[in-house]
């Protein structure tokens, strides 16, 4: 993806440089080309007037009243309201005989001006001269044409026109070019952004999804938009994940279940074999009780495995709704009151009411049940197990603390592994599935679970859950 983005950026820079060079080229030649076109029209006009002057040198009749003519011509978007073309006539020595724009020039010597000098010598004469050297837009274009009589050049007829009359056309064309290039560039940029949004961004999401699968994380299938290709890929990845997880899940559970059932089944088999022998009734009752206990252990293990397998099959949180954590916690405590009393443990409660939360209430209730059962199992007789909750920034922290000996550090690091259980000195060993269930519930709620030895004594287990808005 990084190489693709760099390549895309490189192509964008090349295209940007190309558009800049094209714009610069068009704008650089625009004024020159416009002035050249104007000069071509002026040459024709000069030739016509020179031909007229050769027959009748009095040009006053031609230009009389021209300045007073009002025009209403609109050339594209430029309005033309008056005549902007003038002319002057010189004799064969370059002395001005007539000037329609500047009558005060009559009698002046223009023989050194390029348009007059070259024209009187039979060459093409033209020039561009500023009326005010400090102003770049004060240039005037001059084009000369020879005045002939009896096959001889007897004068020069020059037409002239201020360049500022032409500049509105240049400025308008400049705006058109800039806007056209800008719109084309923006269109291409929009296309690149659209391609990135429609293709590369979804591919990036799918890449992150695939990496999460590799790390063993549980994530829902990403939303990649409406594109058919990326959705097909997303569905294929999701199906592959479920297929692989199903296969690995089955293999893992068969191995672990076989391993964990060996111990209780061996105990049941040994007790059953001993029952065939003659023994006192008290010993027989002991072995029958052992068979009953080991059978209950197998039954509880199978029940929790089914519960855990159902949970692990979920790729995202389902059946969520808003509920009160305090009410949920009190309901769980009431269900465990009998167990706590039978083991001499007191249950305590510290959750502010009401504490609204958005999630799966049955799953969180089951997770709290497992945490409280662990707390009761590992708490000392006469001790207290506290169920508490508090809000910290954007997270709800649910905790269960007992007053037992405290979990060792080595056991805390492995407590959430499947089938790992730390043996209590006086209350035996669990099946190692309860905390695994708690961890799965926390992760489905986009949170995490942890367990540690509390500084004040005992063990504290926590679920840290983000406050998810109900709209999600």
Nearest to 351 by CA among 385, 320, 327, 321: 327
Peptide bond into 99 cis (omega under 30): no
pLDDT of residue 471: 44
Q: What is the CATH number of the domain that holds 138?
A: 3.30.450.20
In a domain, 340, yes or no: yes
Final residue belonging to a domain, choices 124, 142, 170: 170
What total of structural domains would you count in the chain? 2
In a domain, 290, yes or no: no
| Average pLDDT of span 222-231 | 60
pLDDT category at 120 given cuts 50, 70, 90 is very high
CB 15 within 8 A of CB 188: yes
Per the DSSP assignment, residues forming a β-bridge with 324 are 356
Nearest to 93 by CA among 70, 110, 72: 110
Final residue belonging to a domain, choices 170, 195, 226: 170
In a domain, 21, yes or no: yes
Distance CA 443, CA 463 (A): 9
pLDDT of residue 148: 93
Least confident of 158-167, 290-299, 419-428: 419-428
Final residue belonging to a domain, choices 170, 189, 209: 170
Least confident of 1-10, 78-87, 253-262, 283-292: 253-262
Q: What is the CATH number of the domain that holds 376?
A: 3.30.565.10
Q: Phi/psi of residue 397, each to 5°?
A: -110, 110
The residue behind tokens 């294929």 is 236
CA 402 to chain centre: 47
Instruction: Give the SS3 label for residue 451.
Output: strand
| Average pLDDT of span 23-32 | 75
Nearest to 355 by CA among 401, 395, 320, 402: 395
| Domain assignment of residue 162, given as a range | 2-170
In a domain, 82, yes or no: yes
Range from 15-24, 113-122, 220-229, 386-395 that averages highest in pLDDT: 113-122
Instruction: Write the CB contacts of 253 (distance below 8 Å, at least 6 apart in sequence).
Output: 305, 309
């Amino acid at each position: 993806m990084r190489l693709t983005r760099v390549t895309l950026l490189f192509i964008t820079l090349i295209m940007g440089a190309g558009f800049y060079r094209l714009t610069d080229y068009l704008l650089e030649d625009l004024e020159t080309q416009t002035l050249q076109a104007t000069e071509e029209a002026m040459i024709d006009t000069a030739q016509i007037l020179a031909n007229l002057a050769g027959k009748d040198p009095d040009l006053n009749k031609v230009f009389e009243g021209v300045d007073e003519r009002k025009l209403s011509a609109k050339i594209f978007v430029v309005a033309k309201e008056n005549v902007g073309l003038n002319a002057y006539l010189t004799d064969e020595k370059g002395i001005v005989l007539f000037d329609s724009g500047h009558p005060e020039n009559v009698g002046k010597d223009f023989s050194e001006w390029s348009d007059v000098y070259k024209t009187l010598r039979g060459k093409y004469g033209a020039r561009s001269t500023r009326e005010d050297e400090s102003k770049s837009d004060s240039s005037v274009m001059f084009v000369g044409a020879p005045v002939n009589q009896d096959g001889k050049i007897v004068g020069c007829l020059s037409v002239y026109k201020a360049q500022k009359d032409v500049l509105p056309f240049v400025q308008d064309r400049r705006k058109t070019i800039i806007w056209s290039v800008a719109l084309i560039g923006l269109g291409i940029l929009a296309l690149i952004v659209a391609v990135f949004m429609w293709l590369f961004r979804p591919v990036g999401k799918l890449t992150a999804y695939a990496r999460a699968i590799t790390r063993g994380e549980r994530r829902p299938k990403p939303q990649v938009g409406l594109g058919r290709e990326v959705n097909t890929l997303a569905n294929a990845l999701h199906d592959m994940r479920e297929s692989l997880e199903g296969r690995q899940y089955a293999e893992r559970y068969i191995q672990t279940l076989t391993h964990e059932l060996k111990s209780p089944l061996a105990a049941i088999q040994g007790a059953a074999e001993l029952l065939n022998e003659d023994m006192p009734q008290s010993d027989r009752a002991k072995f029958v009780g052992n068979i009953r206990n080991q059978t209950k252990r197998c039954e509880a293990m199978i029940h929790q495995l089914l519960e855990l397998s159902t949970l692990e099959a979920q790729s995202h949180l389902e059946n969520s709704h808003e509920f009160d954590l305090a009410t949920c916690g009190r309901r769980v405590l009431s269900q465990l009151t009998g167990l706590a009393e039978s083991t001499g443990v007191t249950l305590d409660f510290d959750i502010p009411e009401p504490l609204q939360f958005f999630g799966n209430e049955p799953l969180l209730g089951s997770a709290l049940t497992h945490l409280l059962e662990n707390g009761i199992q590992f708490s000392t007789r006469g001790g207290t197990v506290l169920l508490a909750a508090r809000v910290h920034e954007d997270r709800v922290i649910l905790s269960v603390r007992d007053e037992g000996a405290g979990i060792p550090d080595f056991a805390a690091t492995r407590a959430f592994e499947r089938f790992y259980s730390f043996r209590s000195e006086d209350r035996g060993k669990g099946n190692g599935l309860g905390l695994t269930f708690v961890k799965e519930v926390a992760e489905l709620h986009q949170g995490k679970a942890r367990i540690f030895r509390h500084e004040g004594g005992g063990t504290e287990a926590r679920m840290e859950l983000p406050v998810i808005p109900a709209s999600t």
